[in-house]
Chain A
């Protein structure tokens, strides 16, 4: 016998008939029948059949009194809560029954009653709920589960009625303070306070006292896993260590929790520790190692958790000049069976981890992915190679060679991607053009997507002086001007003008006039037209008839000036980092964007000030353990850091001030409607890291 048969939509009168039929007799058979009828009500409620079920209110109330079976009680309470939006007149009668249940002295029923009282948003219920809950909390002898239920009832009340929340949270605060209370009740009290704080609109923190915080940490071993995670979560940023010693002590207390089997405990412990590292003067290397290895071992969890962990790895790697994680590259090699979102994230991590010393390894991998069957994956891998070329100056030759090798495969989508990528590589290293120019130009006829086309046009124009046949190559694109997509049209327009200023021959002049005419007369995009007019006026200023206001050289300077070098912006605004680090394991860590950029209602998190706060996070010294032979790896580490600093191009202040959009777009924002342009319009996440100082043209 299964419960499937209960799962059908019923009319109210059918159930009522069933209920009444068995009403009189109290023996067992009719009791089970009656129960089945009640279960049908619940089944119907979960199917959304509210209207019919609301008619059964009086019947349900009648059974409430007759039965003392726990399941019947449960169903009745469930029904009452589900009916709350109807605000039916029966609630007044029901209140006395709920209160009767609360006074019944049976723990399970009392808990049910408390939950119901606080979930029905009617003034009379809420009033009783707050009375009952505070009564329970004042009694020391009440059982643990009941007290927890009372705490949550208060939280519910506080969130329904923000004016009274202060008063209610005062009661919870007392529970938290009292040392005589059971550990798990105190943990729940702490969490309730934390939740209330989160949802209130004011930006203040709970400001826990030092003693309280330390005593909560002492309680950790005596709590169950979920409580454990919650306490660690609630302590983050809510108690601010005032001295380095405090911070060290707290880290020591939190470290063992990294070995918990429950992922949420580990990530919450990680969050607390990362938070505390802002308040220490030095960090032992063994801690870094412990953090790293605990993160790595989380990678063997099911895909959803693995995804979350990987996103947090990115967060930690992005965060600091000297990351808190020291992880080996091979852990992030893509596995054949990984779901695509994990592959994606791993690729991003590989990119972030790339340094001179592990580059060979990473290149080998990326090459493997670039020839992968999965088109998306291989495109992203190629993007990553291109971005690595821009990021690591010393490895640019290897990158270019790898890309040129791949070009030999002559697979269509690989060619598209490589040509697009080369534009950035050549902008960063104009001097490398000799290596690759002729090979690239051979593919002029195979570029098809807008991005690769405009990239090719740009390359041809930029290096026209080295290409004897530049004009024919260029005509291949410009002849098709009217049919091109807007992006390519823009590129053609500015490139023709550029060509003309570089090589003022009759042929280029004719082409230039043609294009200017087409853009102003035949095409109807206002931006394109405006730009064409602008060029036109500029050029006509140089003509003799126009009074010769400008020389050709001056125009060339305007149209074809030196482009600023592009730089990679792999670092975020320190405030953003700060906020992200305080959000390890939350939804924020998945999108890698500060909350108030996604939702304005959520309040930003900031590191609270304290005498122990390190103003300069990057110089946090990581000291080697004295016993083991790690001094070598330590010096290695510091030299690496300095090397990295020197390798990155001159950093200017405005590099840091970029909004986080350029780093990571929200996943949802890259929706495209048409299926055909799905791939081309979806730039890789890595590609977006490349922030140009100025658009091309």
Chain B
């Protein structure tokens, strides 16, 4: 698959490299900076694959580095390459916290060891951090926790031969606990006139398992939730039957979940890896009304001032509260001397983002707040400078609430040998996703 892995700085210069095959000449990497430059001229953001001289350059960007792999073969599985590169960065982050140029240089020995274990002949192998730790003799810098584990003893890693490749044996905790975090992110695209163009719920269930031995877990979700066809049938009436129960199948599970068992019996069973991991994620595309509704009237009197009237309403249950609500309203870049009138929260002009930021710490359900703002515009402007149509962005968090109505009914933990008592904990939160935006006219 991959012939090599390179870590390059933001100019494309090599920081560290590991070659697995000889089909790509070592000189190929020297072309990379100039290829980047060329592609940058075309548009500011470089597409993630380039070709030169029969060599495919595939890379991802992370902080100030490029993680690059090259191949000659056209049948190279790009999906696998990109998934792996992301996984690699994720694993490195566990060792060195932030993956950037400096931390890579600081930890090059351990990165070499990791690269040796994670890929063989350019083919991805083990990528579970907990499993990797058994092979890695080095201690990394910046990470204090693993320091005590670094024993330079050659120990036969017999665990890999077990059928559970993501969990070593012999883990013990004094108190056996499992924490479930159900997080739903709402993405919405709303037109200036208030019409919802697109709405979706991205849910995920994160687990922090602090359990001894080899526990077998069984997760039960509420019947009224998304996992039965009854619910989807009723929701389909609302959505005219067309996109009815697409949602139903749209689950993605961590590799530890027995997929065939879920497929046949709709039961989620798994032996969890130790520590934090994302158990599952799901997506629903049922139309939802905006949880935080925001209506901004922006009037531009060119060459003199801009007036903004904004109303925001929390369209959630009276009992619920939305926390840390942030509404970012774009204003022209050359606006100045802001004047505000507002009743709640705090209002601030953020020149570096060319926007007004309205922060409301707690926003109770059903309440409606508003503000008015006026900013001056320079009387002299360049003639034809087209105005960027940037959207309004909204951020919020609503604890103890899921938009989809999903609920965890039970989490059964069964360790056949140890038979200990265990404590499952569950938390729910709904928050804004990356794209909760309202377009401006």
Q: Residues on A close to B: CB < 8 A?
A: 1-4, 6-7, 39, 42-43, 46, 68-71, 74, 78, 106-109, 115, 143-145, 148-149, 152, 155-156, 182-184, 191, 198-199, 220-222, 224-226, 228-230, 233, 255-264, 266-268, 286, 289-290, 292-294, 296-297, 300, 302-305, 307-308, 328, 330-331, 333, 335-337, 339-341, 368, 371-373, 376, 411, 583, 585-590, 595, 598-599, 602, 627-630, 632-633, 666-668, 671, 675, 678, 682
| Per-residue contact bits, chain B 267-287, to A (CB 8 Å; 1 contact, 0 not) | 000000000001011010100
Is B416 an interface position by the 8 A CB rule?
no
Residue of B nearest to A668 (CB): B51
User: Which residue of the partner chain, among A255, A340, A373, contacts B387 with CB atoms under 8 Å?
Assistant: A373
Q: How many Å from the CB of A511 to the closest CB on chain B?
A: 35
- Tell whether, in the assembled complex, residue B77 and residue A261 are in contact, meaning their CB atoms are under 8 Å apart: no
Residues of A within 8 A of B52 (CB): 668
Stretch of B242-250, B338-346, B394-402 at the chain-chain interface: B242-250
- Interface residue B229 (Cβ < 8 Å from any Cβ of A): yes
Determine if B109 and A3 form an interchain contact, defined as CB atoms under 8 angstroms apart. Answer: yes
B208-216, B257-265, B357-365, B371-379: which lies at the interface: B257-265
Which of A4, A109, A289, A328 touches B249 (beta carbons < 8 Å)? A289
Which chain A positions have C-beta within 8 A of B124?
Answer: 226
Q: Give bound CA distance, A221 to B256, whole Å.
A: 9
CA distance A520 to B294 in the complex (A): 67
| B59 closest partner in A (C-beta) | A304
**In the complex, chain B residues 99-141 whose Cβ is within 8 Å of any chain A Cβ:** 102, 105-109, 112-113, 116, 120-121, 123-127, 135, 137-138, 141
- With A and B bound together, what is the CA distance between A297 and B253 in angstroms? 12
Q: Is B45 an interface residue (CB 8 A)?
A: yes
Check B337 for interface membership: any CB of A closer than 8 A: no
- Give the docked Cα–Cα distance between A70 and B73 (Å): 34
Q: Decide if B108 touches A106 in the complex (CB within 8 Å).
A: no
Contact with A589, one of B78, B82, B154, B163 (Cβ below 8 angstroms) = B78
Interchain CB contact under 8 A, A221 and B258: yes
How far is it, in angstroms, between the C-alpha of A131 and the C-alpha of B71 when the chains are bound? 29
- Kindly identify which residue among A226, A229, A261, A294 contacts B125, using a CB–CB cutoff of 8 Å: A226
Give min CB distance, B231 to chain A, whole Å.
13
Q: Give chain A nearest CB distance to B348 CB in angstroms.
A: 22
Q: Which of B175-183, B306-314, B422-430, B433-441 contacts A (4 or more CB under 8 A)?
A: B433-441
Say which residue of B77, B252, B389 sits within 8 Å of A259 (CB atoms).
Answer: B252
A229 & B17 in contact (Cβ 8 Å cutoff): no
Nearest CB of chain B from residue A678's CB, rounded to whole Å: 7
- B251/A259 in contact, CB under 8 A: yes
List the count of A-B residue pairs having beta carbons below 8 Å apart.
Answer: 274
Docked Cα-Cα span, A593 to B107, in Å, equals 41
CA–CA, A497 and B331, complex, Å: 54
Whole-angstrom distance between the alpha carbons of A262 and B255 in the complex? 8
Cβ contact within 8 Å between A628 and B233: yes
Residue of A nearest to B20 (CB): A119
Query: A148 vs B79: C-alpha distance in the bound complex, in angstroms?
Result: 23
Min C-beta distance of A196 to chain B, whole Å: 12
Asked whether B75 is an interface residue with its Cβ less than 8 Å from the other chain, the reply is: yes
CB of B408 within 8 A of chain A? no
B127 cross-chain contacts in A, Cβ below 8 A? 225-226
Least CB distance from B219 to A in Å reads 14
Query: 25 interchain pairs (CB within 8 A)?
Result: A4-B106, A71-B109, A108-B157, A145-B157, A145-B160, A148-B120, A152-B121, A156-B121, A199-B73, A222-B163, A224-B166, A233-B80, A259-B249, A259-B252, A261-B281, A266-B79, A293-B246, A297-B252, A304-B82, A307-B47, A333-B197, A586-B78, A589-B78, A628-B233, A633-B242
By secondary structure, the B interface counts as: mixed
Distance of B338 from chain A, by nearest CB (Å): 23
CB <8 Å contact, B78 and A585: yes
Q: Is the CB of B389 within 8 A of A143?
A: no
B2 at the interface (CB under 8 A from A): no
With CB as the reference atom, state the residue of chain A lying closest to B393.
A336
Q: Complex: how many Å from CA A373 to CA B123?
A: 43
Further pairs besides A340-B45, A583-B75: 19, Cβ < 8 Å: A1-B141, A42-B108, A69-B154, A156-B121, A222-B163, A259-B249, A260-B255, A262-B255, A266-B252, A289-B246, A294-B250, A297-B281, A300-B202, A304-B85, A308-B78, A308-B82, A333-B189, A333-B197, A668-B52
A78 touches B112 (CB 8 A): yes
For residue A291, which residue of chain B has the nearest CB?
B249
Which residues of chain A come closer than 8 Å to B382, judged between CB atoms? none
- Residues of B within 8 Å of A6, CB to CB, are 108-109
B36 at the binding interface (Cβ < 8 Å): no
Instruction: Knowing A330-B198, A589-B78 are in contact, say whether A106-B156 is a contact too (CB < 8 A).
Output: yes
Q: Which residues of the other chain, B, contact A290 by a CB distance below 8 angstroms? A: 249
CB-defined contacts of A339 to chain B, threshold 8 Å: 45, 47
Q: Does B78 lie within 8 Å of A628, measured CB to CB? A: no
Q: In the complex the two chains form, what is the Cα distance from A294 to B38 in whole Å?
A: 35
Cα A260 to Cα B106 in complex, Å, equals 35
Asked whether B152 is an interface residue with its Cβ less than 8 Å from the other chain, the reply is: yes
In the A-B complex, the 10 residue pairs with the smallest Cβ-Cβ separation, listed nearest first, are A264-B80, A585-B79, A330-B198, A256-B259, A304-B48, A267-B79, A264-B79, A341-B47, A2-B106, A373-B388
Asked whether any CB of chain A lies closer than 8 Å to the CB of B43, the reply is yes
Structural contact, B259 and A259, CB atoms closer than 8 A: yes
* B33 neighbours in A (Cβ, 8 Å): none
B278 close to A587 (CB less than 8 A) = no
Contact at B435–A335, with CB atoms within 8 Å? Answer: yes
Q: Roughly how many angstroms separate A337 CA and B135 CA in the complex, as a whole number?
A: 40
Residues of A within 8 A of B254 (CB): 261
* Chain B CB within 10 A, most for which of A226, A328, A668: A226
Known: A106-B154, A268-B77, A300-B283. A628 touches B109 (CB 8 A): no
Which residues of the partner chain A approach B77 to less than 8 Å between Cβ atoms?
A: 229, 233, 264, 268, 585-586
> With A and B bound together, what is the CA distance between A512 and B429 in angstroms?
76
* Residues of chain A lying within 8 A (CB to CB) of residue B54: 599
Chain B contacts for A289, CB-based, 8 A: 245-246, 249
Task: Identify the closest chain B residue to A153 (Cβ).
Answer: B121
Q: Is the CB of A599 within 8 A of B137?
A: no
- Contact B241 A221, beta carbon cutoff 8 Å: no
Q: Which residues of B contact A145 (CB under 8 A)?
A: 157, 160
Bound together, the chains give a CA A632 to CA B106 distance in angstroms of 62
Give complex CA distance A337, B166 in Å: 36
Q: Which of B82, B152, B253, B391 contacts A260 (CB 8 A)?
A: B253
Question: Chain B residues with Cβ under 8 A from A335's Cβ?
Answer: 189, 435, 437
